[in-house]
Chain A
Amino acid sequence: MSCPAYHVLISRYVDDALDEGERADLLLHLGRCSSCRLTLARYRRLDERLRQLSAAEAPSDCRRVLFQRAEAERPWFQAIAWLRPTTLAATSAALAVLLLASLLLPALSYRFPQQGIAIHFPGDASRQEAVRLTLPGGTTRVAAADNPEITLAGYLPPAAGVEHVALRWDEAAPSPAYVQIVFVAPHGPRVRFERSAADPPSAPIGDRMPDSVVLVHGQVWRYTRHISADGVEIVRLIRSTSSGDIISLEGRVPLQELVHLIEWLQ
């Protein structure tokens, strides 16, 4: 048996899952093969590292948010039983637009730290979830069916602040071609968020952009961009700390999104 085949036995040996014959065969091989002995040692060492993989405790408000979501997703007959006619009328009306929040790329979670609202685009996921809004006090999911018109997966209580959602989805696209969301930010004005798939590419394919510097919260970051083999722009921020560590943030997202990430982490 070759060494790669013995690696399979070594993996089960680490899990104490070999029968007597297999164990004897492996131990005989380990007595002769230093490479496999190193593999065994490496598997045991890395298993220990995995056992130390940190597990966090659920935050205290996780339960509260869970129950709020459970309330928001109650069956339709329960929702109707609590509705007042005036609430239905107000919710169904389209509201005036006051502000443009931002433009996002697919598969990105964007958080407004001041307002506690996040908008998430799953990107190339199934069509069952086009947009998810995380609002103060809970998460509400909005789904788009294969039809290009809007579909609300669940009743959105007015208290959540979402007043109108419109989606247009082109069949061939991995994400909605057009999204508009109007919602009321807590302690703030109504916000319109819009995203269109018609955004022009930000850099010609094949070119590498010159490095530049970005200042974020008094820290100097080196900023680079390049186009990947599949034609996607990759943005990177790199900083060397005073103690010699190199910290790098990279993503297929606009620079501003990485800057926001730095701000969230501060």
Chain B
Amino acid sequence: MLNGGPGVNEATASLRASAELARAHRLEELSRLYEDFGDRIYAHVYRMLGNRQDAEDVTQETFLRALKSIEQLRQEDRLTSWLYSIASNLCIDHIRRRRRLWWLPLPARDGDLPETAGSDLPAVVENGDLVRRALRTLSPKDALCLVLRTAEGFSCTEIAAIMGCSESAVWSRLARARAAFSEAYERMARDVEETR
């Protein structure tokens, strides 16, 4: 299908050369982005999704989308909030799509289970899993706002830029999220105690 006369072959060679240059530039840009932000974005996505495979997939998708539209980013100093915005929107889409499937992490063997002493809950149940389960009761945007503020340490101004809303909207959402998270966490912690 690509066979033809000398003119066609020259055009093909020129096309390939241009494509190779574009490819090299593209990969260089991707490498720079990932080196600078890969770990942070992965950490953020993992906090939101709580699943390594999903976190890998969404992280990769974040950088692929960023690469496609990075020419549209006019201000270099907005790069962080822009990337977090892409990642956060992908996390929200993912959370909304997936069916509810909860589990507690299983050890490889029964002997690996953490020791429980008296009224102390195992660390894995008390902290990480209860936190994640309580976060899941929030709307995805409320959970995102809370995680960006508490776990990631972003300021209200930065969160507003990431979420594309006003600062007053961020404060309102944080207040709502804290109240809902607090209620859910306390309720779940009581439920865990009662099933022991």
Binding site for B on A (CB under 8 A): 7-8, 11-12, 14-15, 17, 39, 42-43, 46-47, 49-59, 62-63, 65-67, 69-70, 73-75, 77-78, 81-85, 88, 107-109, 118, 122-125, 134, 139, 219, 241-253, 261-262, 265-266
From known contacts A49-B127, A57-B42, infer whether A123 and B99 are also in contact, taking CB-CB under 8 Å.
yes
B196 contacts A107, C-beta separation under 8 Å: no
B39 contacts A58, C-beta separation under 8 Å: yes
B169 interface residue per 8 A CB criterion: no
The secondary structure that dominates the A interface is mixed
B110 interface residue per 8 A CB criterion: yes
B122 interface residue per 8 A CB criterion: yes
Chain B residues with Cβ below 8 Å from A266 are 106, 108
Binding site for A on B (CB under 8 A): 1-3, 12, 15-16, 19, 22-23, 26-27, 30-31, 34, 38-39, 42-44, 46-47, 52-53, 55-57, 59-60, 63-64, 67, 93, 96-106, 108, 110, 113-116, 122, 125, 127-128, 131-132, 146-147, 149-151, 156, 171-172, 174-175, 178-179, 181-182, 185-186, 195-196
19 A-B pairs with CB atoms under 8 Å apart are A8-B172, A49-B127, A49-B185, A54-B128, A62-B59, A63-B38, A70-B64, A75-B22, A77-B19, A81-B12, A81-B15, A243-B114, A245-B125, A246-B195, A249-B101, A249-B102, A250-B102, A253-B99, A265-B103
From known contacts A56-B52, A63-B34, infer whether A125 and B2 are also in contact, taking CB-CB under 8 Å.
no
* Additional 8 contacts, C-beta under 8 A, given A42-B182, A242-B110: A8-B171, A11-B175, A56-B42, A58-B42, A62-B56, A62-B60, A125-B93, A244-B116
Chain B residues with Cβ below 8 Å from A122 are 97
Chain A residues with Cβ below 8 Å from B12 are 81
The 4 A-B residue pairs with the shortest CB-CB distance, nearest first, are A55-B43, A58-B42, A11-B175, A50-B150
B100 contacts A252, C-beta separation under 8 Å: yes
**Cα(A15)–Cα(B23), bound, Å:** 45
From known contacts A54-B128, A70-B64, A85-B2, infer whether A265 and B106 are also in contact, taking CB-CB under 8 Å.
yes
Looking at the complex, which one of A46, A84, A118, A244 makes contact with B178 (CB distance below 8 Å)?
Answer: A46
Looking at the complex, which one of B38, B96, B104 makes contact with A58 (CB distance below 8 Å)?
Answer: B38
Closest-by-CB residue of A relative to B46 is A56
**Cα(A112)–Cα(B179), bound, Å:** 41
Chain B residues with Cβ below 8 Å from A118 are 53
